[in-house]
């Protein structure tokens, strides 16, 4: 499938880096353009920005030259993580020039013609984009909300059916929301900071009303809920917590509220979009949950467009899994050569760190130790592990007779959230067919 070229404004910042990480190997998008300030312009990304994320910086982005944040050379679709002191002006210039901007900055969020989007809640607000055209922009701007608002609006949206009247929220916001270097360690360590600045309380109180509002006659009517917010910054890396009290017109039983949260689904789930969580709201019955360090990455599924093949190799230092990247793009000869190169480097202990990262599918061989079947644990980003046991002469049913024949036991462990049983069985059938007649695989692999 061909992918859509995208640009990133403010690519060198913390939000820009998150865009780069989330777009790496995305099945629909490929990053083709990076823009930032004069400080970064003309430098390769790896020299302009200090990469701060645990996920690796993709090589193609690392070597890409950062350009000026001016419209023209960027692709039509641009994600923006610009500093809010400049985002208003620059994003407007891009929209006027025909670019479609998806912005994280606050500048355009409350403009009547700009959708403020949490796609699970108000995908219908995208109809506002038509009015932007009437206002003279050749391009468009869509914004996403303040991060604390996402937590609150998602919890409140399913409660609108019970007559949502008032809400009071106290946030415990992670330092990730303050960018890098963010809050000084002297201030944040062993501390809680109230009134965190940047108009945070005001954003929580106004943005939620727009997101929860209804669209009629091409305009959003703000939701009448009264919101009162206190925002605090706490020494947590990632994951905002909100303590929320809610006033409702009705008195639904607890079960009805829990069911409203658990069954809540939106347009991204209906469409099966690549990064849509299958269940957007998770209710935890335990009294001491949620906790950011335990729940922030809960059920995260990242869909990779590429197949990076891990090959488990026994070395003197134990089992290592070198990775052959972009295995699907290689023909069978090239793939075979790469596997040999990776396994020899693994055995010799000569693997660079990037050769050990990012396997999405791994092949292993427990037959070397005489094993037959196994159920290896699949850990993200892997979605499946194919294992081969030892070839031995074993009893095999052949027609009505039992004969002695060489057999190769094959096991497949798969992440059931991504691959269902039917797909897994179909894949195994195909592997077995290719093992019976390897020549059948050469043409399709080589194409
Ligand atoms: P950051 O790390 O300071 O990055 C700011 C980016 O803007 C950098 O790429 C910087 O480029 C660029 N920039 C600064 N001045 C510029 C100029 N005059 N011309 C062109 N580019 C310029 O900030 P951040 O933490 O990523 O936050 C970015 C935005 O997202 C802010 O508006 C913030 O409020 C918002 N935000 C939103 C959320 C959310 O959940 N929606 C969360 C956090 C932050 P250089 O590196 O070249 O200086």
Q: What value does the mean pLDDT take over residues 271-288?
A: 88
Q: Which residue has the higher pLDDT, 442 or 145?
A: 145
Instruction: Say if domain 309-441 classifies as CATH 3.40.50.300.
Output: no
Q: Is a pLDDT exceeding 80 seen at residue 303?
A: no
Task: Categorize the per-residue pLDDT at 210 as very low, low, confident or very high, splitting at 50, 70 and 90.
Answer: very high
Alpha-carbon distance of 91 to 31, in angstroms, equals 18
**CATH 3.30.559.10 intervals, the chain:** 309-441
Please tell me the distance between residue 50's alpha carbon and the centre of ligand 1 in angstroms: 14
Dump pLDDT digits (tens) for 29-48.
999 999 999 999 999 999 99
Enumerate residues 6+ apart whose C-beta is below 8 A from 13.
Answer: 36, 49, 81, 82, 83, 179, 180
Q: Is a pLDDT exceeding 50 seen at residue 122?
A: yes
Q: Give the angle 2-63-274 at the CA atoms, nearest 5°.
A: 35
Which of 33, 82, 110 for mutating ligand 1's site (highest number of atoms within 8 Å of CB)?
A: 82
Highest mean pLDDT among 27-31, 41-45, 378-382, 387-391: 41-45
Q: Please give the CATH superfamily to which domain 4-107 belongs.
A: NAD(P)-binding Rossmann-like Domain (3.40.50.720)
What percentage of the chain exceeds 70 in pLDDT?
97
Alpha-carbon distance of 137 to 195, in angstroms, equals 37
Q: What value does the mean pLDDT take over residues 200-228?
A: 97
pTM confidence score: 0.75
Dump pLDDT digits (tens) for 68-105.
999 989 999 999 999 999 999 999 999 999 999 999 99
Please tell me the distance between residue 88's alpha carbon and the centre of ligand 1 in angstroms: 12
Q: Which of 17, 58, 1 is nearest to 308 (CA)?
A: 58
| The predicted structure's pLDDT at residue 150 | 95
Q: In this structure, are residues 323 and 308 in contact, taking their beta carbons and an 8 Å threshold?
A: yes
Give the mean pLDDT of the chain.
91
Task: Categorize the per-residue pLDDT at 445 as very low, low, confident or very high, splitting at 50, 70 and 90.
Answer: very low
Residue with CA nearest ligand 1 atom 48: 37
| The predicted structure's pLDDT at residue 1 | 59
Alpha-carbon distance of 201 to 196, in angstroms, equals 9
Q: How many CB atoms lie within 10 A of CB 10?
A: 27
* Atom from ligand 1 closest to the CA of residue 49: 46
**CATH 3.30.360.10 intervals, the chain:** 147-293
What residues does ligand 1 touch, defined as CB less than 6 Å away?
10-16, 36-37, 39-40, 69, 81-84, 86-87, 104-106, 144, 146-147, 177, 179-180
Residues with catalytic annotation? 147, 240
Dump pLDDT digits (tens) for 125-142.
999 999 998 878 899 999
* Atom from ligand 1 closest to the CA of residue 84: 32
* Phi-psi region at 372: left, alpha or beta (left = phi > 0; alpha = psi -120 to 50): alpha
**CATH 3.40.50.720 intervals, the chain:** 4-107
| The predicted structure's pLDDT at residue 382 | 87
Q: What value does the mean pLDDT take over residues 329-354?
A: 85
When computed from its CA atoms, the radius of gyration of the chain, rounded to whole angstroms, is 26
Q: What value does the mean pLDDT take over residues 387-394?
A: 92
* Atom from ligand 1 closest to the CA of residue 39: 47
Please tell me the distance between residue 202's alpha carbon and the centre of ligand 1 in angstroms: 20
Q: Which of 324, 328, 322 is nearest to 306 (CA)?
A: 328
Please tell me the distance between residue 83's alpha carbon and the centre of ligand 1 in angstroms: 3
Q: What value does the mean pLDDT take over residues 401-425?
A: 90
Dump pLDDT digits (tens) for 179-191.
889 999 999 999 9
Which of 8, 10, 173 for mutating ligand 1's site (highest number of atoms within 8 Å of CB)?
A: 10
What is the dotted CATH code of the domain comprising 147-293? 3.30.360.10
Task: Categorize the per-residue pLDDT at 446 as very low, low, confident or very high, splitting at 50, 70 and 90.
Answer: very low
Strands 384-388 and 361-365 come out as: parallel
Please tell me the distance between residue 7's alpha carbon and the centre of ligand 1 in angstroms: 15
């Amino acid at each position: 499938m061909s992918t859509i070229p995208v640009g990133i404004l403010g690519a060198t910042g913390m939000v820009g880096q998150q865009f780069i990480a989330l777009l790496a190997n995305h099945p629909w998008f490929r990053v083709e353009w990076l823009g930032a300030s004069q400080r970064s312009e003309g430098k390769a990304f790896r020299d302009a920005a200090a990469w701060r994320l645990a996920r690796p910086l993709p090589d193609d982005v690392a070597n890409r030259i950062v350009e000026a944040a001016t419209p023209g050379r960027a692709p039509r679709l641009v994600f923006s993580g610009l500093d809010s002191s400049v985002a208003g002006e620059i994003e407007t210039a891009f929209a006027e020039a025909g670019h479609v901007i998806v912005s994280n900055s606050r500048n355009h969020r409350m403009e009547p013609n700009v959708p403020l989007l949490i796609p699970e809640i108000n995908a219908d607000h995208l109809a506002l984009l038509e009015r932007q055209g009437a206002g003279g922009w050749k391009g468009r701007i869509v914004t996403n909300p303040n991060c604390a608002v996402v937590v609150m609006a998602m919890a409140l949206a399913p409660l609108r059916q019970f007559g949502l009247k008032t809400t009071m929220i106290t946030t415990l916001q992670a330092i990730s929301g303050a960018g890098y270097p963010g809050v000084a360690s002297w201030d944040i360590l062993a501390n809680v900071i109230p009134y965190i600045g940047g108009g945070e309380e005001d954003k929580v109180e106004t943005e939620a009303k727009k997101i929860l509002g209804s669209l009629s006659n091409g305009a959003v009517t703000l939701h009448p809920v009264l919101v009162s917010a206190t925002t605090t910054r706490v020494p947590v890396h990632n994951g905002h917590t909100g303590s929320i009290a809610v006033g409702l017109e009705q008195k639904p039983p607890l079960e009805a509220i829990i069911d409203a949260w658990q069954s809540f689904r939106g347009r991204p789930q209906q469409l099966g979009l690549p990064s849509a969580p299958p269940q957007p709201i998770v209710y935890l019955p335990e009294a001491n949950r949620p906790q950011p360090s335990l729940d922030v990455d809960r059920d995260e599924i990242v869909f990779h467009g590429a197949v990076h093949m891990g090959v488990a190799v026994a070395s003197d230092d134990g089992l290592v899994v070198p990775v052959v990247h972009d295995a699907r793009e290689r023909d069978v000869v090239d793939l075979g050569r790469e596997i040999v190169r990776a396994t020899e480097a693994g055995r010799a202990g000569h693997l660079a760190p990037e050769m050990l990262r990012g396997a999405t599918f791994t092949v292993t061989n427990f037959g070397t130790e005489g094993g037959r079947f196994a159920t290896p644990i699949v850990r993200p980003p892997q979605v499946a592990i194919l294992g081969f046991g030892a070839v031995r002469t074993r009893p095999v049913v052949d027609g009505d007779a039992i004969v002695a024949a060489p057999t190769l036991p094959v096991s497949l462990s798969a992440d059931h959230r991504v691959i269902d049983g039917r797909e897994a069985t179909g894949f195994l059938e195909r592997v077995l067919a290719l093992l019976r007649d390897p020549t059948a695989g050469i043409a399709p692999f080589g194409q």
